[in-house]
Amino acid sequence: MWICATCAVEHDEQPDVCAICADERQWVPASGQAWTTLAELHHAGVRIAVRELEPDLFALHASPGVGIGQESKVVRTPAGLLLWDPLGYVDDEAVAAVRALGEVTAVVASHPHMFGVQVEWSHALGDVPVLVAEPDRHWVAREDPVIAAWQGDLEILPGVMLSQPGGHFPGSAVVHWAAGAQGRGVLLSGDTLFANPDRTSVSFMRSYPNRIPLSGAVAERVARHVTRRPFDRLYNNFDGVIPADATAVVLRSAARHAAWTRGDHDALT
């Protein structure tokens, strides 16, 4: 099993270039395609830390960073755990830390950039299902019987709903966790909606590293989709958070995005 050094997505074999990185939403380094393995990453000192974000929501972070460097989230419910946006690295200590929280029901990535070593995580956790959005199924570079496609809305655990607003990728997914934020609801948005540093707005992009925006119509469509269910707090796939009033933030940000892409504010430029 090979891991792309740039995006940390697992592969069955080494192609000339990682297809995910060659796509316009990602990038191949000027030095060329490079590969690594779990053994090499372990030897380099990569370790995973677990921290609690709020009651029953945890973050997994690899240090030094691996690939894109996302922060996985673990949602805990009485019926089991959801591992969201799996890291591009896993070891026995990290598995033990996750198991100490409960039994994982499924591994799900918000979109192909976040696949990480999803199959490896599944195997380490007892071959739990790896759910991949049907529109993005063709991006999987390591096939395994644990992979299952899904579409639409899926209640993966009681009160934990997966859905696919699309945007960044056609199958880009989010998690609505009804019990989060003391019952006011939490949205785990991946980078379908990216919490900005100001903590009062979100971004809608086809590519973040290459600065390709989505249209205003798509931003508003995504916002309408995710606000079908209430949420007060939003976490992206790194350490970004909208701590409160996140539903209003999403709708306001989509309207602002649409206005700028229409040219409403060109006089300011």
Count Cβ atoms below 10 Å from residue 154 Cβ, excluding itself.
16
How far is the C-alpha of 171 from the C-alpha of 191, rounded, in Å? 12
Residue 42 banded pLDDT, cuts 50, 70, 90: very high
Cα(249)–Cα(154) distance, rounded to whole angstroms? 25
pLDDT in tens, 43-101: 999 999 999 999 999 999 999 999 999 999 999 999 999 999 999 999 999 999 999 99
Is residue 246 helix, strand or coil? helix
How far apart are the two ends of the chain, measured CA to CA in Å?
Answer: 49
pLDDT band at 195 (very low <50, low <70, confident <90, very high): very high
Domain around 124: 2-268
What span, in angstroms and rounded, lies between the C-alpha atoms of 59 and 83?
10
Consecutive H or E run containing 50: strand 47-54
Sheet architecture: strand order including 35-36: 10-11, 2-4, 35-36
Task: Say which CATH number the domain at 72 has.
Answer: 3.60.15.10
pLDDT in tens, 206-260: 999 999 999 999 999 999 999 999 999 999 999 999 999 999 999 999 999 999 9
How many separate domains does the chain show?
Answer: 1
Query: How many of the other CB atoms lie within 10 Å of CB of 212?
Result: 12
Task: Locate the DSSP E strands across 128-232.
Answer: 130-133, 147-150, 154-157, 160-163, 174-177, 186-188, 194-195, 202-203, 205-207, 212-213
**Mean pLDDT for the stretch of residues 145-156:** 98
